[in-house]
Homo-oligomer: A and B are copies of this chain.
Amino acid sequence: MNEFTSRIPDASVRRLSLYLRFLEDFERSGVTSVASVALAERGGTTAAQVRKDLSHLGSYGKRGLGYSVAELTGVLRTVLGLDSTWRVALLGAGRIGTALFEYEPFRRRGFHITTVVDNDPCKVGTRLGSIRIRDQRELEDALCEDRIDLVIVAVPAPVAQGLVDRVVAVGIKAVLNYAPVQLRLPADVALRNVSMLVELESLSYDLARHRP
Protein backbone atom coordinates (compact mmCIF):
# COMPACT_ATOMS: atom_id res chain seq x y z
CA MET A 1 0.00 0.00 0.00
CA ASN A 2 1.27 3.48 -0.67
CA GLU A 3 0.57 6.44 1.57
CA PHE A 4 -2.89 7.13 0.09
CA THR A 5 -4.60 4.16 1.59
CA SER A 6 -8.25 5.17 1.87
CA ARG A 7 -9.82 4.58 -1.49
CA ILE A 8 -10.81 7.70 -3.45
CA PRO A 9 -14.26 7.36 -5.06
CA ASP A 10 -14.21 6.35 -8.74
CA ALA A 11 -15.82 9.55 -9.97
CA SER A 12 -13.19 11.61 -8.18
CA VAL A 13 -10.37 9.49 -9.58
CA ARG A 14 -11.67 10.16 -13.08
CA ARG A 15 -11.80 13.87 -12.45
CA LEU A 16 -8.30 13.83 -10.94
CA SER A 17 -7.15 12.24 -14.18
CA LEU A 18 -8.73 15.13 -16.10
CA TYR A 19 -7.29 17.78 -13.77
CA LEU A 20 -3.85 16.29 -14.34
CA ARG A 21 -4.31 16.79 -18.07
CA PHE A 22 -5.33 20.43 -17.54
CA LEU A 23 -2.45 21.04 -15.13
CA GLU A 24 0.01 19.70 -17.69
CA ASP A 25 -1.45 22.13 -20.23
CA PHE A 26 -1.10 24.96 -17.72
CA GLU A 27 2.50 23.90 -17.02
CA ARG A 28 3.32 23.97 -20.73
CA SER A 29 1.85 27.48 -20.98
CA GLY A 30 4.12 28.63 -18.13
CA VAL A 31 1.32 28.99 -15.55
CA THR A 32 2.76 28.29 -12.08
CA SER A 33 -0.28 28.47 -9.83
CA VAL A 34 -3.93 27.89 -10.53
CA ALA A 35 -7.24 28.45 -8.70
CA SER A 36 -9.79 25.68 -8.29
CA VAL A 37 -12.18 27.71 -10.45
CA ALA A 38 -9.79 27.47 -13.42
CA LEU A 39 -9.71 23.68 -13.18
CA ALA A 40 -13.49 23.65 -12.70
CA GLU A 41 -14.06 25.71 -15.85
CA ARG A 42 -11.94 23.44 -18.01
CA GLY A 43 -13.48 20.32 -16.50
CA GLY A 44 -17.07 21.48 -16.72
CA THR A 45 -17.57 21.22 -12.96
CA THR A 46 -17.68 23.55 -9.94
CA ALA A 47 -14.83 24.96 -7.87
CA ALA A 48 -16.36 23.30 -4.80
CA GLN A 49 -16.19 19.92 -6.56
CA VAL A 50 -12.56 20.50 -7.54
CA ARG A 51 -11.64 21.37 -3.94
CA LYS A 52 -13.48 18.31 -2.68
CA ASP A 53 -11.73 16.05 -5.22
CA LEU A 54 -8.32 17.48 -4.36
CA SER A 55 -9.01 17.19 -0.62
CA HIS A 56 -8.62 13.42 -1.07
CA LEU A 57 -4.93 14.07 -1.72
CA GLY A 58 -4.29 15.83 1.59
CA SER A 59 -3.95 19.56 2.05
CA TYR A 60 -2.57 21.13 -1.10
CA GLY A 61 -3.26 24.69 -2.07
CA LYS A 62 -4.15 27.64 0.10
CA ARG A 63 -7.36 29.63 -0.02
CA GLY A 64 -6.74 32.72 -2.13
CA LEU A 65 -3.35 31.54 -3.37
CA GLY A 66 -4.45 28.62 -5.50
CA TYR A 67 -2.55 25.45 -6.16
CA SER A 68 1.07 25.18 -7.22
CA VAL A 69 0.86 23.66 -10.70
CA ALA A 70 4.17 21.80 -10.35
CA GLU A 71 3.41 20.43 -6.91
CA LEU A 72 -0.13 19.33 -7.71
CA THR A 73 1.00 17.76 -11.00
CA GLY A 74 3.57 15.70 -9.09
CA VAL A 75 1.10 14.61 -6.43
CA LEU A 76 -1.50 13.61 -9.03
CA ARG A 77 1.05 11.61 -11.03
CA THR A 78 2.02 9.70 -7.89
CA VAL A 79 -1.54 9.09 -6.72
CA LEU A 80 -2.66 7.93 -10.17
CA GLY A 81 0.31 5.58 -10.38
CA LEU A 82 1.80 7.45 -13.33
CA ASP A 83 5.27 7.70 -11.83
CA SER A 84 5.66 4.01 -12.70
CA THR A 85 5.79 2.18 -15.99
CA TRP A 86 3.04 -0.41 -16.37
CA ARG A 87 3.44 -3.40 -18.62
CA VAL A 88 0.30 -3.96 -20.63
CA ALA A 89 -0.91 -6.95 -22.65
CA LEU A 90 -3.40 -6.39 -25.44
CA LEU A 91 -5.81 -9.27 -26.02
CA GLY A 92 -7.12 -8.98 -29.56
CA ALA A 93 -5.41 -7.35 -32.53
CA GLY A 94 -8.59 -6.40 -34.38
CA ARG A 95 -9.68 -2.86 -35.28
CA ILE A 96 -10.13 -1.64 -31.73
CA GLY A 97 -7.04 -3.41 -30.46
CA THR A 98 -4.93 -1.95 -33.24
CA ALA A 99 -6.30 1.55 -32.66
CA LEU A 100 -5.47 1.24 -28.96
CA PHE A 101 -2.01 -0.09 -29.74
CA GLU A 102 -1.28 2.93 -31.88
CA TYR A 103 -2.74 5.42 -29.44
CA GLU A 104 0.42 7.33 -28.62
CA PRO A 105 -0.68 8.94 -25.30
CA PHE A 106 -0.80 5.52 -23.59
CA ARG A 107 2.96 5.16 -23.90
CA ARG A 108 3.59 8.75 -22.92
CA ARG A 109 1.70 8.06 -19.68
CA GLY A 110 3.78 5.02 -18.89
CA PHE A 111 1.48 2.30 -20.23
CA HIS A 112 3.70 0.12 -22.39
CA ILE A 113 1.97 -2.48 -24.52
CA THR A 114 4.64 -5.18 -24.56
CA THR A 115 2.46 -8.14 -25.46
CA VAL A 116 -0.24 -8.74 -28.06
CA VAL A 117 -2.17 -11.98 -28.43
CA ASP A 118 -4.79 -13.03 -30.96
CA ASN A 119 -6.42 -16.29 -32.04
CA ASP A 120 -6.35 -15.58 -35.77
CA PRO A 121 -3.69 -17.81 -37.40
CA CYS A 122 -3.22 -15.16 -40.09
CA LYS A 123 -2.26 -12.61 -37.45
CA VAL A 124 -0.22 -14.78 -35.10
CA GLY A 125 3.49 -14.34 -35.85
CA THR A 126 3.01 -11.05 -37.73
CA ARG A 127 3.99 -7.77 -36.11
CA LEU A 128 2.06 -4.89 -34.65
CA GLY A 129 4.68 -2.15 -34.51
CA SER A 130 7.70 -3.93 -33.06
CA ILE A 131 5.62 -6.52 -31.19
CA ARG A 132 5.20 -10.02 -32.54
CA ILE A 133 1.59 -11.14 -32.14
CA ARG A 134 1.46 -14.32 -30.07
CA ASP A 135 -1.02 -17.16 -30.19
CA GLN A 136 -3.87 -16.86 -27.73
CA ARG A 137 -3.13 -20.41 -26.63
CA GLU A 138 0.17 -19.14 -25.19
CA LEU A 139 -1.63 -16.48 -23.15
CA GLU A 140 -0.44 -17.62 -19.71
CA ASP A 141 3.17 -17.94 -20.86
CA ALA A 142 3.06 -14.54 -22.50
CA LEU A 143 1.62 -12.81 -19.42
CA CYS A 144 4.18 -14.38 -17.09
CA GLU A 145 7.26 -14.03 -19.32
CA ASP A 146 6.48 -10.40 -20.05
CA ARG A 147 5.66 -9.61 -16.38
CA ILE A 148 2.34 -8.02 -17.33
CA ASP A 149 0.62 -5.67 -14.86
CA LEU A 150 -2.53 -4.85 -16.76
CA VAL A 151 -4.56 -6.41 -19.54
CA ILE A 152 -6.66 -4.67 -22.21
CA VAL A 153 -9.47 -6.86 -23.53
CA ALA A 154 -10.34 -6.09 -27.15
CA VAL A 155 -11.78 -9.43 -28.28
CA PRO A 156 -15.37 -10.25 -29.33
CA ALA A 157 -17.86 -10.46 -26.45
CA PRO A 158 -18.45 -14.25 -26.56
CA VAL A 159 -14.81 -15.13 -25.91
CA ALA A 160 -13.97 -12.36 -23.41
CA GLN A 161 -14.96 -14.10 -20.16
CA GLY A 162 -13.03 -17.26 -20.96
CA LEU A 163 -9.87 -15.30 -21.72
CA VAL A 164 -10.20 -13.12 -18.65
CA ASP A 165 -10.59 -16.19 -16.43
CA ARG A 166 -7.19 -17.31 -17.68
CA VAL A 167 -5.75 -13.81 -17.10
CA VAL A 168 -7.01 -13.78 -13.53
CA ALA A 169 -5.68 -17.29 -12.89
CA VAL A 170 -2.10 -16.11 -13.45
CA GLY A 171 -2.54 -13.30 -10.93
CA ILE A 172 -3.23 -10.20 -13.05
CA LYS A 173 -4.98 -7.56 -10.93
CA ALA A 174 -6.18 -4.98 -13.47
CA VAL A 175 -8.39 -5.35 -16.56
CA LEU A 176 -9.54 -2.71 -19.02
CA ASN A 177 -12.46 -4.17 -20.93
CA TYR A 178 -13.53 -2.96 -24.39
CA ALA A 179 -15.65 -6.05 -25.10
CA PRO A 180 -19.39 -5.28 -24.93
CA VAL A 181 -20.02 -7.72 -22.08
CA GLN A 182 -20.12 -7.52 -18.31
CA LEU A 183 -17.15 -9.55 -17.03
CA ARG A 184 -17.22 -11.45 -13.73
CA LEU A 185 -13.97 -11.03 -11.83
CA PRO A 186 -12.80 -11.73 -8.29
CA ALA A 187 -13.22 -8.74 -5.96
CA ASP A 188 -9.47 -8.11 -5.76
CA VAL A 189 -9.14 -7.53 -9.52
CA ALA A 190 -9.72 -3.97 -10.67
CA LEU A 191 -11.99 -3.74 -13.71
CA ARG A 192 -12.93 -0.79 -15.88
CA ASN A 193 -15.35 -1.13 -18.76
CA VAL A 194 -15.20 1.13 -21.76
CA SER A 195 -18.45 1.06 -23.61
CA MET A 196 -18.48 2.61 -27.03
CA LEU A 197 -22.27 2.79 -26.77
CA VAL A 198 -22.88 4.36 -23.36
CA GLU A 199 -21.64 7.81 -24.34
CA LEU A 200 -23.44 7.73 -27.65
CA GLU A 201 -26.68 6.74 -25.94
CA SER A 202 -26.36 9.48 -23.41
CA LEU A 203 -26.14 11.90 -26.37
CA SER A 204 -29.20 10.43 -28.02
CA TYR A 205 -30.97 10.83 -24.69
CA ASP A 206 -30.28 14.55 -24.92
CA LEU A 207 -31.29 14.71 -28.58
CA ALA A 208 -34.52 12.83 -27.85
CA ARG A 209 -35.38 15.17 -24.99
CA HIS A 210 -35.25 18.15 -27.31
CA ARG A 211 -36.87 16.68 -30.35
CA PRO A 212 -39.96 18.47 -31.56
Contacts and interface: CB of A to CB of B under 8 A. Distances in A.
Interface in A183-209: 190, 192-209
A193 B102 CA distance: 20
A105 to B, nearest CB: 6
A204 B5 contact: no
Interface in A102-132: 102-103, 105-106, 109-111
Contact of A17 (B80, B190, B202): B202
A192 B202 contact: yes
Number of copies of this chain in the oligomer?
A: 2
A106 B210 contact: no
A13 interface: yes
A208 B150 CA distance: 12
Contact of A192 (B13, B22, B203): B203
A170 to B, nearest CB: 16
A112 to B, nearest CB: 12
Contacts of A205: 8, 13, 79-81
B208 A81 contact: yes
A1 interface: yes
